[in-house]
Every structure is written in C-alpha cells, then in structure tokens.
Amino acid sequence: MAIGLAAAAPAFAATFRGPRDRFWSRMTVTGLTLGGLALLANPRLRRTQVGPWEVALGLTSAAALYGTFKLGDRFARRFVPGGDDQIRDIYSLRELAPRSETALRLVTIIGPAEELFWRGLVQEALMRRYGRWTGAAMAAVAYSAVHVTTGNFTLMGAAGVAGVHWCFLYAAGFPIGALVVSHCAWDVWIFLVQPTGDVTALAAG
C-alpha cells in the first residue's frame, strides 16, 4: 500500500500535467501500473467476479452517484470560484480521442484499475490496520488528496465525493466486482453519454 500511494501521486501528476493530447494514453498506463500492483499485492483480487448480482448492485450505485453529481454540478458552477471553467475543462478531455476508444479504455482498464487499487489494495490495507470505518475514511481522503496534483479544485472535490461513495460501499460489504461495475458505468455515463451540465462552449473552443 505504501509503495502504491507513493507512486500514485507522481503518476496522477504526470497524467494530468503532461501533454494534453496524450492524456488518455498516460491515464491508461497509470491504470495498468496501479491496477497491476493491486493484483500482485492482494491475490484475492484475482478472483474478482462480476455476475448478475454485481451488475445490479453496481448499476444501482452508479445511478445514485450520478444523481449526487447532478446536484453538485449546479452548486459548483454557481458558488465555486472558477467552478464552471474547471468543469468544462474536465469535459474537454472527451474531445481528445474518439468516444468509442475512450469508453473502451474506461471500461477495460481505467475504471477497474481504480477500484482494484483504491478499494482492493489501499482501503483494504487501511481497514485491516485501523478498523473498517476509520480505514474507509482514510482511503476516501487519500483518493481525493491525490487529485490535488491536477490543479483542478473542482475535480479534487468531485473525487472526494466519489471516493466517499465507493469507500462507504466497500466498507459496508459491497463486493469489489460490484464496485468495478459501478465505477465503469458511472465513468461512461457521466463523461461520455450524459454530462451533468453544459459542456458545449469549452469543447467547441
């Protein structure tokens, strides 16, 4: 876990701060690296299953999180200084690659890797050491904090909300397979299918 967290901060910094046109390639490499570390360090993750029950749980939790973000989008655009520009900046990443390619990266590598690493490795280790709910809270803070390297305050806040959501579910007993489904479905829906608000102006610019 310590090695993973030490690697995550510079990896996220390089992903978000590097040349913008290669963002998705860097994000994929980061996912492969951190997800691979999780599979190596926690052998139980290699037996992760995704069946009908995990799909149902995952889609339900993704829908709940999307509803939360719909409300958060309105608040951030109205009350957070620079919130509207920061949200549009995040969504502008949609234009860097064909939507089908981005969706494939999110579903096959990036989304699963984040759950394997942040819940299956980091949170699992913290819960064993500090207890279920304290460990979950620490994992959520770590997930949000690593996004400070992006320089986007709104993205950091969004990661905090999503982190609390998935960390709570994992601590409550949701299987990792359901969280993988939740993360992937939420990523594709909110980012590529149905954004939470207006993103046209920045994308066009």
pTM: predicted TM-score of the whole model, two decimal places: 0.90
Report domain extents, the chain. 2-45+52-204
* Amino acid 76: pLDDT: 61
Q: And the tokens for 151?
A: 């320089």
Q: What is the pLDDT of residue 87?
A: 73
Confidence tier at 95 by pLDDT (50, 70, 90): confident
* Lowest-pLDDT choice from 7-21, 78-92, 101-115: 78-92
pLDDT in tens, 58-89: 999 999 999 888 787 776 666 566 667 777 78
- Which of 86-90, 168-172, 201-205 has the lowest average pLDDT? 201-205
Q: Pull the structure tokens for residue 106.
A: 């999110």
Average of per-residue pLDDT across 105-133: 96
Dihedral sign, Cα of residue 75, residue 81, residue 93, residue 28: negative
Contact yes or no for 100/188 (Cβ under 8 A): no
